[in-house]
Amino acid sequence: MNMSNGKLLVVGELNVDLILNQIHAFPQLGKETIADEMNVCLGSSSAIMAANSAALGVDTTFCGVVGDDDFGGFILRELERKSVNCARVKQIPGQKTGCTIVMSYGQDRANVTFPGAMHALTLHDIPFETPSAYQHLHVSSVFLQQGILRDIEQLLIRAKAAGMTTSLDLQWDPAEQWAFDYARCLPYVDVFMPNESELLALTGAESINSALEEIRPYLNTLALKMGSKGSMGVRGDQQMMAPAFEGKQFVDAIGAGDSFNAGFIRKYMTGAGLEECLREGNLMGALNTTAAGGTGAFDNRQQLSEHIQELWGIELSLP
């Protein structure tokens, strides 16, 4: 079946990112330091994944909440500018929109997030009509959204019952409690998309191999993000590595994992094999690092294709 016209529903958090780059020193209490670069842009893992999916030609709808403030208006304008359908995004009176201060240090960063309205999103806000208007559901940053975390198993069950395929990127748990019952939930997740540190923290394992053994009984497909090492795919007895694309114009790695998700899921929705999905994810993750913030490298589809051709000699087939 040709699924190239499939519709993607992204459920997740919404916030602005205030990104500081080229910081002279790490902040210390009672002292001040200087950053040479500052950007305010669309933040949140879920929004970056949605915006970059839309930039790649995927019909994308966002389901989330923002406050009725300037940041909320900015997020809605940015998503719509990037061709994301915002009919399922609610502005809640009296709530403040989330904001993340990102202190970027090369390949790594320190984040401080004010969740704001994120907690107000619940199971009841998500469209589960049967048959579903959407082919695929992607859920991200569960630990930042208490209203979603509470009903995550039910959310996944209802998505599957409506006929959607599902993907999940838990992201880091700021409380480091990892209150996610993977034995119960992962059977309803078609593609589980953690990075190495998240997988180790979730399972409490000492190594990636032992973490894989821990979750393998419950897995459908794992797409494990491994930064400069690329990514690993696991499906049944199949296990493979896909090498990273060498970054030739590195700016920052903010949103690289979310861009990996966008690339992987775009291919997954067309019925592509695991290796092709991983490769596309790695390519979009690498492209992400060539501009500031999570969506800077995905602003213009023609430029995006030309940039990939120029950097890696790859002809990208976009709808």
Quote the CA–CA distance of 73 and 67 in Å, as a whole number.
8
Burial 152-171 (b: 16+ CB within 10 A, else e): beebbbbbbebebbbbbbbb
Residue 127: predicted pLDDT: 94
Residue 4: predicted pLDDT: 42
- Lowest mean pLDDT across 15-19, 23-27, 313-317: 313-317
Quote the CA–CA distance of 265 and 308 in Å, as a whole number.
19
Instruction: Tell me the torsion sign for CA atoms 287, 289, 292, 295.
Output: positive
Q: Is the pLDDT at 284 greater than 60, yes or no? A: yes
What is the token pair recorded at 207?
Answer: 């190594």
What is the token pair recorded at 299?
Answer: 């602003």
SS3 sequence of 34-99: CEEEEEEEECCHHHHHHHHHHHCCCEEEEEEEEECCHHHHHHHHHHHHCCCEEEEEEEECCCCCEE
Other CB atoms within a 10 A radius of the CB of residue 94 amount to: 8
Top-confidence residue, 106 or 60: 60
Q: Sorting pLDDT into bands at 50, 70 and 90, what band is 249? A: confident
Quote the CA–CA distance of 135 and 246 in Å, as a whole number.
33
132 inside domain: yes
CB 296 within 8 A of CB 41: yes
DSSP 186-249: GGG-SEE--BHHHHHHHHT-SSHHHHHHHHGGG-SEEEEE-GGG-EEEEETTEEEEEPPPPPSS
Residue 1: predicted pLDDT: 29
Instruction: Residue 290: give its domain's CATH number.
Output: 3.40.1190.20
Quote the CA–CA distance of 78 and 92 in Å, as a whole number.
18
Whose structure tokens read 């494990």? 224
Q: Sorting pLDDT into bands at 50, 70 and 90, what band is 299? A: confident
Which residue, among 39, 111, 54, has the nearest Cα to 84 in the 3D structure? 54
Quote the CA–CA distance of 121 and 59 in Å, as a whole number.
22
Q: Is the pLDDT at 189 greater than 80, yes or no? A: yes
Which residue, among 81, 71, 167, 156, has the nearest Cα to 113 in the 3D structure? 71
Residue 3: predicted pLDDT: 38
Residue 105: predicted pLDDT: 86
**For range 203-226, the mean pLDDT:** 97
* pLDDT tens figures, 133-165: 999 999 999 999 999 999 999 999 999 999 999
Residues composing the chain = 319
Whole-number average pLDDT of the chain: 93
Domain count, the chain: 1
105 inside domain: no
Q: State the DSSP code for 245.
A: P
What is the token pair recorded at 32?
Answer: 């001040």
Whose structure tokens read 């775009």? 266
29 inside domain: no
19 inside domain: no
Other CB atoms within a 10 A radius of the CB of residue 201 amount to: 17
For the full predicted model, state whether its pTM sits above 0.85. Answer: yes
Within the chain, what is the greatest distance between any pair of CA atoms?
61
Quote the CA–CA distance of 240 and 231 in Å, as a whole number.
8
Q: Sorting pLDDT into bands at 50, 70 and 90, what band is 2? A: very low
Contacts of 71 (CB under 8 A, 6+ apart): 15, 16, 96, 97, 98, 99
Residue 173 CA, distance from chain mean position: 15
191 inside domain: yes
206 inside domain: yes
247 inside domain: yes
137 inside domain: yes
Tell me which residue range forms the domain holding 166: 7-14+44-98+116-312
Residue 5: predicted pLDDT: 54
Whose structure tokens read 């790594």? 108
Q: State the DSSP code for 135.
A: S
